[in-house]
Structure 1
Amino acid sequence: QRTSALASIKCFLFGCGTPAVKPDTNRIVNGEDARPHSWPWQISLQVKHGSRYHHTCGGTLVGPRWVLTAGHCIWPGDVYRVVLGEHDMSVQEGTEQIRDILRIIVHPAWDIEHVANGNDLALLKLDKSPILNDSVGVACLPAAGEILAHETPCFITGWGNLYSNVTDSSAFRTWQALKPCTIAAHDVCSSSGWWGTTVKSTMVCAGGDVVSGCNGDSGGPLNCLGQDGRWYLQGVTSFVSSLVCNELKKPTVFTRTSAFTEWLSEVN
Structure 2
Amino acid sequence: MIRLVALLSCFGLICSSEPFNYKVNNGRVIGGSDATPNTWKWQVSLQLSYGDGTFNHICGGSIVDSSYIMTAAHCILSSDASQYRVVVGEYSLFEYEGSELFSSVEAIFVHPDWSGNVAHGNDIALMKLAKPIYDNGHVEIANLPYPNQMLPHGFTCYITGWGLMDYIGSVPDKLQEAPLGVVEHAVCSQPEWWGSLAQKTMVCAGGDGVTSGCQGDSGGPLNCLTDGVWRVHGVVSYGPAYQCNLPFKPTVFTRVSSFLDWMYSVMDQAN
TM-score by length of 1: 0.84
- Aligned partners of 1:85 and 1:122: how far apart in 2? 21
1:1-268 aligned at under 5 Å gives the runs: 30-49=31-50, 50-78=52-80, 79-112=83-116, 114-164=117-167, 166=169, 171-208=170-207, 209-227=209-227, 229-267=228-266, 268=269
- Letter of the 1:203 counterpart: M
Describe the superposition over 1:97-119 as per-residue Cα deviations: whole angstroms up to 9, x where unpaired: 0001111001111122x220000
RMSD: 1.4
Describe the superposition over 1:139-196 as per-residue Cα deviations: whole angstroms up to 9, x where unpaired: 1111100010000010000011223265xxxx44321001111100000001110000
- Aligned partners of 2:75 and 2:109: how far apart in 1? 12
Describe the superposition over 1:82-127 as per-residue Cα deviations: whole angstroms up to 9, x where unpaired: 0010001111101110001111001111122x22000000101111
Q: Which residues of structure 1 form unaligned runs of 5+? A: 1-28
- Aligned partners of 2:61 and 2:264: how far apart in 1? 19
Q: Which residues of structure 2 form unaligned runs of 5+? A: 1-29
- Letter of the 2:231 counterpart: Y
- Aligned partners of 1:251 and 1:91: how far apart in 2? 32
Alpha-carbon contact 1:165-1:214 (below 8 Å) kept: no
Identity of aligned residues (%): 45
**Shift, 1:207, TM fit:** 1.4
SS of 2:160's equivalent in the other structure is strand
- Aligned partners of 1:163 and 1:248: how far apart in 2? 15
- Aligned partners of 1:67 and 1:128: how far apart in 2? 12
Number of the residue aligned with 2:20:
none
**Shift, 1:256, TM fit:** 0.1
TM-score by length of 2: 0.83
Alpha-carbon contact 1:160-1:173 (below 8 Å) kept: no
In the alignment of these two chains, the number of paired residues is 234
Alpha-carbon contact 2:167-2:242 (below 8 Å) kept: no
Q: 1:235 to 1:111 in 2, by over 3 A?
A: same
